[in-house]
Each structure stands twice: as structure tokens, then as C-alpha cells.
Amino acid sequence: MAAPLRAEAPRAGAGYVPADLDERGLWMQAEEYERELKHSAFVMRDPALNAYVREVFCKTVGQAECKDVRIYLMRTPYFNASMAPNGLMQVYSGLFLRVRDEAQMAAILGHEYTHYRNRHSVLLYRNAKKNFGAAAFLGGFGLFGSLIQLGMIGSVFSFSRENEAEADSGSIPMLAQAGYDPHAAGEVWQQLRAEMDATALARKKKSRKDKTGGMFATHPPSAERMTALKALADKQTLPGATDNRRAQFIAALKPFWADFVDDQVKLNDFGGTEFLLESLSKEGWTPDLLYARGELYRARGAPDDLAKAAGFYREALTRPEAPVEAQRGLGLALLRAGSVSEGRAALKTYLEKRPDAPDRAMIAMLAGG
């Protein structure tokens, strides 16, 4: 089996340009994709949110290193981020619900930047090109050839796992240098594993947290990943006191909370979503979290759920900082539970407080005009 190609100098970073035909070809494909991405309806273009994420990114990787990276925030309710070889980074909105503070977000951003800096895309491409080229040649040699093919494919995906582990380890010193606790990186995977358990429990299925996909998995198993990151963080020297900036993270995300919650609830993952909300409520059930819980129970919609949802909305609305969407949720829950007059009154209050509501026509109809 051919040995995987490993990283070589120079590394990517500020001012880097593609070194050869393979890399230039990959950049051209990424640039074409980026041109299309600029017009995507899924891109979140809010200036404040984009500026905040970029500020955290530059703080993590360094001001000089961050200038060539373009970050696109994608409104997609899954935990994911990706990095193209030309400096295009995508961050999914579902990530914001699954990290607890700025440090955990920085851990993901630093991981993705390490992929770019170490030119993992071109290295993986060359390895795949080498192995799959030989595999195509061997494809006509019956079962024996197929077994050799399978071994070569395994080599390619194993190489990808090495890249993921390398990107994980690259994020640890970045976190420390930026003033974050490097243990934040491992905590992300601990949380994701617990969420998978909660999803499985609610669906009465076996948790997928340790499912790796065999030789074709492109990421290390999450348990292995979590353990390795903790060990690296334990050894990391800190230049001073750390601050994971949870309050700043919550404040930056607050204007988008209702949208992110709506997207998450539509995934129809009651157990996972309930876990996320309970995890976020460790410091207390804020009005935003109570609204989110109301939305979750209203979406499931059993008679008992509707009563609980109304209770969550009402509790949120006792606070001065409650999201106005809680008034809408209360009205909709009451209508479905059969409390028509009270439900319509709540919807009318919502329209009074939110005259520019995007769903005004529908809510007005339900409110009885």
C-alpha cells in the first residue's frame, strides 16, 4: 500500500499563492464555488455577526494570518465548519447553538485554519490521485484487483483522519495564545457526544456517538478525539489568565436566537434539542431559553406538550427582556389547545409589539383580523 503524502513547506497563510498545477486547479474550483456562494440565500450577511465571528477568528489565528481568509456564515442548523484550499471558510449556524462560549467557537475556527495553513486539501488530493489512479488501472483484474482497490481507498481515508488529528492539535496553542482555556476544544466533543445520546434516547435507538464508519471515516472517533484534545490541553503552557468570554458570545448571538431556534426545532430532534437547551440553561433559564423550550414543546404538539409550552412562554414573558416571539408562540399554543379567545388576544399583542413582523399576514388571519 502506498504511503500517504505528508505536509511539505511552504505552508499557506498571508499572501500565499498556489505552488503547482494540482494546487492551482483546486483553487480554481474553490474560487468558482465561492463566486456562486456569494449569491446564496443561505449566507447570513448581518454586519455585526460577521464582524464578531471574524474578530474571534483573527484573535485566534493572529491578525497577519487571518487577512486572506473569507468567512461565510451559513444558515444551516447543523454542527459544521469547512475550509477550502483558497481561504474560503464556511461556518454553519447550527454550530452557534452547540458551542457554549467564544473559546469553543475559537477552537473550531482554529481547527479549520490549520487545515488551510497545512494545505491539507492539496495533500489529500495528491494522495487520492495517486491511489485512485492505480485503483482504476487495477479495476479490471477481478476480485484480487478489487481487494487492492479497497486497500488503497482505505489509505486515502486514513490520511484524512491524520489531517483531522493534526488540525485538532493545531488549535490548542492558538487557543492558549489568544487567552482562551485550551480545554474548550475537547469540551465541544464531549457536548456533541452527550447530544447524540439524548437524541438516541428520545428515539429509542442506539447512540451513534461511537460510530466511525470503519476505514472510510474521514474523522477520528469522537471519544478518541476528546481524549487527545484534553491531553494536549493539559500539557499546553498558558501565557497568562484565561477568559472564555461566555457573556460576549451570548450577547453577540442574541439577535439571531429566535431564527436559530426555529431552524433547530424543524429538525424534529426533540431529545437532542431538549439536551441543548438544558445544557445552555446551567446558569439559569433565560427568557430566550424559555422561548426556545416553548417552541420545542409546541412543535411536538401533544396535548400535555401544548400546556407545557404555554407555561414556558408565560414564564418568559414575565421578564422585561423576553423575545416578542414568545407572545406569538403563546398565542399559537393556546389556539391549538382550544383556548381561542386567549390565543387570539396573545397574537394581537404580538402584532402590536412587532408591526413589521414577517409573518404578519398569517398571524393576523389567525388572530381574527
Contact 331, 324 (CB under 8 A): no
> How do beta strands 88-92 and 70-74 pair?
parallel
For the purposes of burial, counting CB atoms within 10 Å of the CB of 345, is it exposed (0-12), middle (13-18) or buried (19 or more)?
middle
- Residue 83 per-residue DSSP state: E
Q: What backbone torsions phi and psi does residue 119 show, to the nearest 5 degrees?
A: 55, 45
pLDDT of residue 212: 62
Residue 240 CA, chain-centre distance (Å), reads: 29
pLDDT of residue 355: 93
pLDDT of residue 213: 57
pLDDT of residue 148: 54
Contact 317, 330 (CB under 8 A): yes
For the purposes of burial, counting CB atoms within 10 Å of the CB of 70, is it exposed (0-12), middle (13-18) or buried (19 or more)?
middle
Residues (pLDDT < 70) of the chain are 1-10, 133-159, 212-218, 220, 369
Contact 111, 80 (CB under 8 A): no
pLDDT of residue 16: 83
pLDDT of residue 2: 37
